[in-house]
């Protein structure tokens, strides 16, 4: 017997439009798809497929069902065969329910218990709505944000009052385990008199999060005044997963049909404010980057998605993650666009200041996915040089490969080739050779030329035919030509000043030359050792390769890769600092953040395997060559490396200010920076703040 839970999971991962579309010619009809019924003869289409409900229905003959039922009815398959075919298409393995009767009974009881969580959350939502009506301060806050009572009721907004146990008045038993399981109450301490319970949400505007069926599955809470965190979300529970749900999707169903596209924003208040201004098709991710599951869910309701981001660096990074999530779903009939607002605005403030018509124009001028892909690939690349164009293609290849087969993918290949000044065939051939090399273990079948000049990203790790090994290039050999806003202090070991030769002074390694004896050479039988010479292996000290001292950039990134969970402990300013590191360091930081978004923190072995799969491990080998030569790093040591980076950045900014003839404003800023540097140098790590 196939477990019922597997059937539910299978149907949630199956797009019924694709299943039916293989057998019936469907056309878009509003939010649904329509075609001629395959089960009875008709001239006018009355067969409806609903991506929202994941069902089909014929108004002519009355047949209806889900994807499994369609395959059984249309293809004559049995139930198990239909499930197996769908599972194969979804890449899932069909299990057999081999549980005992007791195990099945326990599973049923657990499912029943989980189903009561939505009742608990609904009751909490009703309580918060009642508290909002009693709080003039909360009502005044919403009015100042331009929200009416009607829109607040539409989204079931509420207010969590101050106090540690306000929910005790809403539930007869405050110690009910369901309150903690639903994420509404935090429990600390051991059971007994020492155990403490208190409300998770206090003095916050409450935004109920509802699934597409309308069940309350979680909450987001926003502070009324200044406080941290500004937004607080429900934890992961049996009914709530941030990586799968979208705030406002239940409320936006009608808006998606009316406007024909989904508008994805970054905050709850943006969704509500846009709905107040007439944009009732907005949804928001729940404090996480947009995932492939988010995009898949949106395309069940609409064929067009517009992502809206702030125009700052953080918004650009979020757009990059959304692009990666959308690429596998970007078929020829779907539209994905990217909207970037001015850095000083979010959708809420933009609409309130400039009006809904101005925001509508921004939506109409949004950047299509194809252009966003090309701009993302070309970022930081000098397209006026061969090297820059090659790097652009290297960046574009994994993005292009993520696209499904179709005309869009073919046309993009041509655009990329044109920008790189290649023919379509040359580019495709080059990428095919790279793909074959990757399948063969990451090595090209062509042998590299003998004695090459060392690459700044890929030092040789082996040698053949009697050649000497190349010099062991250290981190200083990876300093980029343009350091941007960073000017590491030589005292910190950063860059070429850290002890290694500069890029301009380094000479290519030429391998071992043919040996010839000098004029006074004597045959070995006449040679006698002098002094305290010892035979090879007799207590000789190991001769380690001479390496430049590690820079703060190397140290910080090395420790972060070994302890990827530390990323969540850093501030937004620290994230920005690390993203702005030049060269391979900044590229690895960007890769690490993408990895954490999709997979979460993990051990180095998992990161190494993923880096190899993504083709970034070779470019990082110079940094990672001595990854395990030190003791397990401590977070305090990592903080020290970050502090050195901050000091280097501030000192670089200070140097720029006093160059030439500084203005009074420059001098004032210079004084502020020197004070910040002094504070960083004098403040103990436990009290350090890099904000």
3-state SS track over 582-595: CHHHHHHHHHHHHH
* Burial grade of 231 (CB within 10 A; 0-12, 13-18, 19 or more): middle
Taking the C-alpha atoms of residue 310 and residue 338, their distance in angstroms, rounded to an integer, is: 11
Residues with Cβ within 8 Å of residue 378, at least 6 apart in sequence: 392, 395, 419
The count of other CB atoms within 10 Å of the CB of residue 629 is 8
Taking the C-alpha atoms of residue 29 and residue 257, their distance in angstroms, rounded to an integer, is: 10
pLDDT at residue 513, rounded to an integer: 45
C-alpha 639 chain-centroid distance: 24
- 531: alpha, beta or left? (left if phi > 0; alpha if psi -120 to 50): left
Answer whether 245's CB lies under 8 Å from 286's CB: yes
For residue 646, what are the CA distances in angstroms to 28, 317, 583, 617, 669? 54, 21, 17, 27, 16
The segments of the chain whose pLDDT lies below 50 read 442-549, 627-630, 687-691
Helices (H), 451-571: 552-562
Taking the C-alpha atoms of residue 173 and residue 181, their distance in angstroms, rounded to an integer, is: 14
Q: Which residue, among 300, 292, 286, has the nearest Cα to 257 in the 3D structure?
A: 300
Answer whether 159's CB lies under 8 Å from 131's CB: yes
Instruction: Please state the pTM of the whole predicted model.
Output: 0.57
Whose tokens are 């080998």? That residue is 621
Give phi and psi for 493, each to the nearest 5.
80, 15
Pairing between β-strand 304-310 and β-strand 282-284 as defined by DSSP bridges: unpaired
pLDDT at residue 676, rounded to an integer: 85
Answer whether 265's CB lies under 8 Å from 313's CB: no
Helix axes 583-599, 604-614, angle to 10 degrees: 110
Q: Which residue, among 241, 284, 285, has the nearest Cα to 12 in the 3D structure?
A: 241
Taking the C-alpha atoms of residue 532 and residue 479, their distance in angstroms, rounded to an integer, is: 42
Helix axes 424-439, 407-419, angle to 10 degrees: 100
pLDDT at residue 514, rounded to an integer: 47
What DSSP character marks residue 175?
T
Taking the C-alpha atoms of residue 219 and residue 545, their distance in angstroms, rounded to an integer, is: 57
């Amino acid at each position: 017997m196939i477990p019922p839970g597997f059937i539910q999971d299978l149907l949630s991962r199956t797009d019924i439009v694709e299943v039916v579309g293989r057998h019936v010619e469907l056309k878009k009809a509003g939010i649904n798809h329509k075609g001629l019924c395959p089960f009875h003869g008709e001239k006018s289409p009355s067969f409806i497929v609903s991506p929202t409900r994941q069902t089909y229905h014929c108004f002519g003959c009355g047949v209806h069902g889900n994807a499994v039922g369609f395959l059984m009815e249309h293809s004559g398959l049995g139930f198990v065969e239909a499930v197996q075919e769908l599972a194969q298409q979804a890449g899932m393995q069909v299990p057999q329910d081999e549980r005992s009767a007791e195990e099945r009974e326990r599973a049923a009881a657990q499912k029943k218990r989980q189903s009561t969580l939505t009742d608990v959350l609904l009751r909490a939502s009703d309580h918060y709505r009642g508290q909002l009506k009693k709080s003039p301060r909360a009502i005044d806050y919403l009015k100042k944000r331009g929200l009416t009572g009607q829109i607040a009721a539409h989204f079931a907004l509420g207010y969590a009052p101050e106090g540690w146990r306000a929910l005790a008045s809403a539930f007869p038993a405050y110690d009910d385990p369901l309150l903690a399981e639903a994420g509404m109450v935090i429990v600390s301490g051991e059971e007994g008199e020492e155990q403490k319970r208190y409300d998770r949400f206090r003095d916050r505007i409450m935004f109920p999060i509802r699934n597409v069926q309308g069940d309350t599955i979680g909450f987001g809470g926003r502070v009324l005044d200044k406080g941290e965190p500004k937004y607080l979300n429900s934890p992961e529970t049996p009914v709530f997963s941030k990586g799968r749900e979208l705030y406002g999707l239940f409320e936006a169903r009608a808006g998606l049909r009316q406007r024909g596209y989904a508008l994805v924003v970054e905050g709850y208040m943006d969704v509500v404010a846009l709905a107040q201004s007439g944009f009732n098709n907005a949804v928001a991710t729940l404090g996480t980057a947009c995932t492939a599951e988010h995009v898949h869910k949106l395309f069940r309701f609409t064929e067009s998605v517009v992502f809206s981001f702030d125009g700052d660096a953080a918004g650009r990074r979020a757009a990059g993650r959304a692009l990666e999530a959308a690429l596998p779903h970007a078929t020829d009939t779907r539209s994905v666009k990217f909207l970037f607002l001015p850095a000083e605005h979010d959708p809420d403030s933009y609409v309130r200041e400039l009006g809904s018509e101005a925001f509508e124009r921004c939506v109409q001028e949004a950047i299509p996915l194809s252009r966003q892909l090309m701009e993302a690939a070309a970022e930081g690349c000098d397209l006026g040089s061969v090297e820059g164009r090659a790097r652009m293609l290297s960046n574009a290849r994994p993005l292009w490969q993520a696209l499904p087969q179709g005309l869009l993918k073919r046309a993009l290949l041509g655009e990329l080739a044109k920008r790189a000044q290649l023919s379509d065939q040359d580019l495709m051939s080059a990428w095919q050779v790279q793909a074959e090399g990757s399948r063969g273990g990451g090595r090209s079948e062509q042998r590299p030329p003998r004695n090459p000049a060392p690459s700044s990203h890929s030092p040789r790790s082996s040698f053949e035919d009697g050649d000497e090994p190349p010099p062991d290039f250290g981190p200083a050999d990876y300093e980029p030509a343009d350091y941007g806003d960073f000017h590491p202090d030589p005292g910190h070991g950063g860059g070429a000043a850290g002890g290694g030769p500069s890029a301009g002074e380094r000479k290519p390694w030429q391998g071992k030359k043919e040996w010839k004896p000098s004029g006074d050479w004597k045959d070995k039988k006449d040679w006698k050792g002098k002094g305290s010479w010892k035979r090879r292996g007799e207590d000789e000290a190991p001769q380690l390769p001479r390496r430049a001292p590690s820079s703060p950039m190397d140290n910080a990134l090395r420790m972060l890769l070994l302890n990827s969970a530390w990323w969540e402990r850093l501030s937004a300013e620290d994230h920005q600092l690390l993203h702005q590191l030049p060269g391979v360091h900044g590229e690895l930081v960007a890769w690490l953040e993408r990895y954490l978004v999709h997979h979460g923190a993990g051990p180095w072995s998992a990161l190494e395997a993923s880096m190899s799969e993504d083709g970034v491990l070779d470019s990082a080998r110079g940094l990672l060559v001595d990854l395990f030569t030190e003791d397990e790093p401590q977070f305090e040591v990592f903080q020290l490396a970050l502090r050195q980076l901050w000091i280097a950045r501030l000192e670089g900014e200070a140097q720029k200010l006093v160059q030439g003839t500084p203005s009074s404003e420059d001098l004032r800023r210079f004084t502020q920076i020197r004070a910040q540097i002094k504070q960083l140098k004098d403040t103990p790590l436990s009290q350090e703040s890099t904000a």
